[in-house]
Amino acid sequence: MLNRFPKTVVTLLLILFSMTSEAQPHLPTGLQRYHLGYSYVVSNARLKYSYSYPDMYGRLYDTAVDIRMPSKGGFGATMGTYFKVADLGKTSNLNIGLDGVFNLAVWDMEQLYSTEGDDEYLGPYYSTEYTITAGTLHYGLTATLDFKTGCDAMLDKSQNYCFTFGAGAYPSFAITTFYGLPGFSRLRVQPVIKTEIGFRYGVCMKARVLYMPGVFRYMGYEDITPYYEESFSLESHNNLTLSLLIMPFSWAWNKDERWIF
């Protein structure tokens, strides 16, 4: 009887494996459409700074800076899903897409010089080197109307490619620190344009581009006194977020045999 025990165990495991491989587990549709991924942030900002003051003789001295500051690095994370609104054909449909976006961007201006005047009373010219560093945490939610075609539109394993184009709104909240100053908070709604292209290899993987046109004012400061005037601002123009996405539950999609050639 003991000799039969290993054979019985092996037989039971084979039966269990065959039942598992043939069964197609059903997951909620929203979960099958779920995706998450890593993002890289591309953004250009413009730093404007001005400072003026009178000396003891009433002469006015001022410094003005207006420079472009591309982000020196940035990364982020994203996750979301979508909901079908209407069919547009055998392999295409219209969807509402919702994506949570978290981005971190670093702004750094390593060389910024301030040069003073030179005359017989005030002395010679001199230069001062500054290092201006800023960082921005950006949280947002994209709500888009998307045209989808391919495997992620139909949740169909028999199709290996997919494409998405959409547009909508991007309400977001940003916190920026600048040169050791306390954080500046900003809330704004921007338009957003979305494009995705992907393929299925076991699970569906996609590359996505989010483009946010317009100006986002990360911070602004102004101080006017009888002795000096100072102001600065940091604004971004036309942000771009590049993402690599994976749909981890796309293995549970069905297979429509009509599209297999």
Pick the residue with more confidence: 14 or 43?
43
How many Cβ atoms from other residues are within 10 Å of residue 37's Cβ?
A: 19
Please state the pTM of the whole predicted model: 0.72
Between CA 171 and CA 169 the distance in angstroms is 6
**217 and 233 in contact (C-beta within 8 Å)?**
yes
The pLDDT assigned to 65 comes to 73
Pick the residue with more confidence: 132 or 186?
186
The pLDDT assigned to 15 comes to 47
The whole-number average pLDDT for the span 137-161 is 93
DSSP class of residue 259 equals G
Between CA 76 and CA 142 the distance in angstroms is 14
159: pLDDT strictly greater than 50? yes
The whole-number average pLDDT for the span 2-16 is 50
Pick the closest to residue 156 from 204, 221, 209, 120 (CA basis).
Answer: 204
Pick the residue with more confidence: 88 or 4?
88
Q: Domains plus CATH for the chain? A: 29-259 (2.40.160)
Backbone angles phi, psi at 247, to 5 degrees: -105, 90
Backbone angles phi, psi at 189, to 5 degrees: -115, 125
- Tell me the per-residue pLDDT of 183-238, one tens digit each, with 9 for 90 and over: 677 788 999 999 999 999 989 999 999 999 988 888 777 777 777 777 777 888 88
